[in-house]
Amino acid sequence: MSATQEIPTTSPIGRSTPRVDGAMKVSGKAQYTSDFHFPETLYAVPVEATIANGRIVKLDTSAAGKMPGVRAIFHRENIGKMFRSTLGQGMEGICEERRPPFEDDVVRYYGQYIALAVADTFETAKAAADAVRVTYSKEKPNVETHLEADDDPDSVVTTFGMRERVDSQRGDADAAFASAPVKLDQTYVTPAETHNPIELHATTAIWEGSKLTLYDSSQGVVNFRSVLAQMFDLPKENVRVITKFVGSGFGGKLFPWTHCALAAAAARQLGKPVKLVLSRKMMFQTVGHRPRTQQRVRLGATRDGKLVSLQHDYIYHRSMLDAHHEDCGEATPFQYSVPNLRVTFGRARRNVGAAADMRGPGAVPGLYATESAMNELAGQLKIDPVKFRIMNEPKIDEGLQLPFSSRHLLECFELGAEKFGWSRRTPEVGSMKRDGLILGWGMAGCAWIAARFAAAANVELRDDGTARVACATQDIGTGTYTNLAQLAAHKTGVPLEKIEVALGDTSLPEGPLSGGSMATPSIVPAVFQAADNAIASLLTIGTTTPGSPFEKRKSDDLAFEGGRVFVKADGPAGGVPFADLLQRGNLRLITGSGKSEAT
C-alpha cells in the first residue's frame, strides 16, 4: 500500500516554526539528566573542603559510614585509580580541571571535593556527607583581588594548547603612544562571574562489565567521552555519553568536571548505577566561572581622531593547577584601524576553582575594556563616539593582514544610530532628562568570531514516508532539535512532524560542542551532505529496482523534490513518493552520511 507524502509548499527554513521539542518540554516529558532513573540506583553527595588552602590531616568517616542505608564513604584511599586526561586532536580531550578528584590531600580552593558519600537515598547520602569530620592544616589562601602577572615564560600551556603571551603586535606601540598628541591610559576590571543555569550539573554512571554509560548535563558529549575514557583507561568505544536535554549551560557544561569522574568511580566500586546531582551552592564553587580580569588599555590618537597606537595588556586569575585562558585580546587586533598595536596577557594564580568559558569567553570582557577606552578617548577628543569609531574603521583585518570575509560594523553603527535616535543625544553629563529623571545614552561596538567545528551526521529516508536525522551534538535549549528537523525537511520535503531527530548520544555520528554560536553552522553542511547522499542512493534504487517506474532510466535523468522522485523532463507533478520506491524494493530505509570540516 502506497504511503502518501505531503509536498511542502515552502521550506521550514526562514519562517516561524514551532519547536519540535516544545510539547515535550511543556508537558514534562522531556528528560533532563537528573530525570533518568534506573533500578538499584544509588545517590552520591560530595564532601566539600571548608578551607581554601591547606592540607587534609585527618578524615573521620566512622559515624557517616555506620548510618543505615550508607553504602560507602569514598576518599583518596579507596576511590580507585583515575588517570589524568590529556589534550587530543581537534576538540577532544578538553578539560579545565585536569587533576583527578582525591589525587592528593592538598586543598587548593574552597569547596574542593575531598570525599564522597553514597547511599540508598539522596537524603541519607546528604546526611552522611554532612557527618564526615575533617581536620586540616590550614594556610592563608591567596584570594587577592588586585592582579599582578605571575612570572610566566613567553609561551605558556593553556586548556587548548600552547599560547604566546604576546597575542598580537604590529608597528611600535610604545613609541607611537609616547608621541601621540592625545592619550588615554586606563585600567578596567571585571569581576568573577558564575554560570549557574537553572539545571544543576548532574551525572549518572552505569557500568556493564568494562563498558561505561554516563548520563550527563553536557554541552559536548563527544569530548566528554574522550576525557572520561582516558581517566578510566577505556577505549572510546566502551564509553557512551547521553545528554537528551540540557537546561542551559552558558559554557559551564562544555567540558567534564570532577563530579563526573566521581560518579563513574563510585559506580565502578559498587557495581550499581550512581547518580550525583550538585547542590546550588556547589554550582558557585566547583564547575567553573569567568575569571576576574584586570585590563590596562592605552590609546593614542591625533587631535582629529585617528588612532595611532593601541596597547591592551590584560591579566586574569586562574586556579593553582589549571590553565584556562581568558582571551580578552581576541577582537582587539582587528576591531579598529591602528598602525601600532600590541596585545599581551598575564596570569595570576589564586586559591579558586578552575575557571571556564562563559558566554563569549575572553572577547566579551576584553571588548568591555577597549570599548570603554574608546568612549573615554572620544570624550577627550570631543568627537561623537559613533563617529569616532566610523573614522577608525579598518579596510582589512590588520591583525592578519587579510581581507574580511564579511564585515558589517559600519552598517550596525549607522542603522543603530538611526533607529535609536542618536542624533538627539547631547554629550554633556546630566544634560538629558525625561520626567524629571536624568537619562544616560551610551554605545559600544562588539565582534564575535565565526567558525565551524568538525561534524558528522546521517539522514534516513524510511518506507513509511518519515525521515530521521542524527548527530552526536546536543540541544542546550537553543533549538538544535528544531534546527536539524528544519534542515532535513528543507532537503527532503518531509514535513517536520514526520522527522525524527536523534542527538545527545555518542553512539551517533560525531557532532560538535554547543558553544561559541558554532554548533548550528557546523551541523548544516554535514546534514545537507547526508541528505544529498541519501537522495542519490534513492535515485539509484529508482533506476535499479524491478518494476520501478524509473527502471529503464539513468539516475541523471531523475530529480528529487518535495519528497518525490520524478523525471526531470516531466517535472515534479507526476513524481513518485520516495516511500513507494522503498516499498517496491522491499527496503525499510536508506541512509546517507555527511560531514563538515572544522575551520
pLDDT digits (tens, 9 = 90+) for 283-326: 999 999 999 999 999 999 999 999 999 999 999 999 999 999 99
How many Å apart are CA 123 and CA 69, to the nearest integer? 10
Q: CB of 289 within 8 A of CB of 192?
A: yes
Cα dist from 237 to 269, 457, 472, whole Å: 21, 18, 14
Angle at 488 between CA 484 and CA 494, to 5 degrees: 130
pTM for this predicted structure: 0.95
Q: What is the pLDDT of residue 4?
A: 47
Query: Which three-class secondary structure state does DSSP give residue 266?
Result: helix
Q: At what angle do helices 480-492 and 519-544 cross, to 10 degrees?
A: 30
Domain 22-27+452-596: which CATH class? alpha beta
Helix, strand, coil tally for the chain in percent (to 5) = 25, 25, 45
How many Å apart are CA 455 and CA 530, to the nearest integer? 11
Q: What is the pLDDT of residue 9?
A: 56
How many Å apart are CA 538 and CA 234, to the nearest integer? 39
How many Å apart are CA 119 and CA 44, to the nearest integer? 7
Q: What is the pLDDT of residue 321?
A: 97
Q: CB of 555 within 8 A of CB of 491?
A: no
Residues of the chain falling short of pLDDT 50? 1-8
How many Å apart are CA 255 and CA 434, to the nearest integer? 48
How many Å apart are CA 240 and CA 218, to the nearest integer? 13
Cα dist from 516 to 251, 412, 521, whole Å: 8, 21, 11
Q: What is the pLDDT of residue 5?
A: 43
Task: Spell out a b/e string for 570-585, using b for 16 or more CB atoms within 10 Å of the CB, else e.
Answer: eebeebbbbbbbbbbb
How many Å apart are CA 259 and CA 384, to the nearest integer? 51
Grid coordinates belonging to 286: 566547583
Contacts of 374 (CB under 8 A, 6+ apart): 299, 336, 385, 388, 389, 444, 445
What DSSP state is assigned to residue 424?
A: G
In terms of Cα–Cα distance, which of 262, 214, 212 is closest to 72? 262
Q: What is the pLDDT of residue 10?
A: 67
Region label for 516, one of left (φ > 0), alpha (ψ between -120 and 50) or beta (otherwise): left
What DSSP state is assigned to residue 555?
A: G
List of E strands, 259-338: 274-277, 293-301, 307-318
Place of cell 569522574: 261
Q: What is the pLDDT of residue 574?
A: 86
Contacts of 403 (CB under 8 A, 6+ apart): 396, 397
Angle at 378 between CA 377 and CA 379, to 5 degrees: 85
Q: What is the pLDDT of residue 1?
A: 40
How many Å apart are CA 98 and CA 258, to the nearest integer? 9
Grid coordinates belonging to 262: 566521581
Q: What is the pLDDT of residue 90?
A: 86
How many Å apart are CA 555 and CA 535, to the nearest integer? 11
- Spell out the domain ranges in the chain: 22-27+452-596
Q: What is the pLDDT of residue 270?
A: 98
Q: What is the pLDDT of residue 422?
A: 96
Grid coordinates belonging to 73: 564513604
Contacts of 482 (CB under 8 A, 6+ apart): 17, 19, 20, 21
Grid coordinates belonging to 164: 604566546
